[in-house]
Amino acid sequence: MSISEINPDEFVIKHRRKLYKFALFANSDICYEMDEWKSRQIDVIEIGAGTGLFSVELATRHPDQTFLAVDVKADRLQTGARLAIERGLTNIWFVRSRADLLDQLVPDHSVQSLWLTFADPFPRQRADGRRMTHPHFLRSYAKVLGKEGALYIKHDNGTFFDWSLEQLAVEKWSIDELSNDLHDSDLPDDYKILTTYETRWLGEGLVTNFVRTTPPKPTK
């Protein structure tokens, strides 16, 4: 497309729509920027939550637990925040933050469950350090997980999933539950709650790989 073919009005509309979504996030009582968030007790965190609809459904099913949906893009998170407000949920919050700042969001060894749902696989060579199952991320997760805490990973990309299993083995994490086709397994229904991306991938004939894993126990 040449410059002469660009419609300025279309650009302005799209730009304003994105600003509107950021305004919705900024004005919500359950949405926070990283520097606004006050550390508190959270039971379940979804990292790279996208729209956060997965966390909203979990929070709906488990009103006795507290949930935090974390993503770097506020315009995605506001989708889940609006649904949470519509449902009258008081046990879920949304924070715009990078995953490597996780230990600044919650106290050490306090979280019961960490969900990593369909993270960017970064397939290019030399991009492994950006993958959210790289050892430096796993160590960060281990720092915030409680004594019985677990990491739950869902992914459609088999190559990324297998690579992640290798990293877990290197870091001496225990594999507690494993499936290469989650929705054709006998695993709990909570695991099968669909994310926005998962709905799309399943519609394209892909399967969901899943693992529940726990970090190594600290040595005394």
Catalytic machinery residues: 120
All residues at 6 or more sequence positions from 133 whose CB lies less than 8 Å from its CB, including other chains: 116, 119, 153, 160, 163, 164, 167, 168
| CA gap 34, 105 in Å, rounded | 8
Phi, psi of 165 (to 5 degrees): -60, -40
For residue 106, give both structure tokens: 């919650």
8 Å CB contact between 68 and 45? yes
For residue 108, give both structure tokens: 């050490």
Cα–Cα separations (whole angstroms), residue 98 to 68, 70, 220: 13, 8, 31
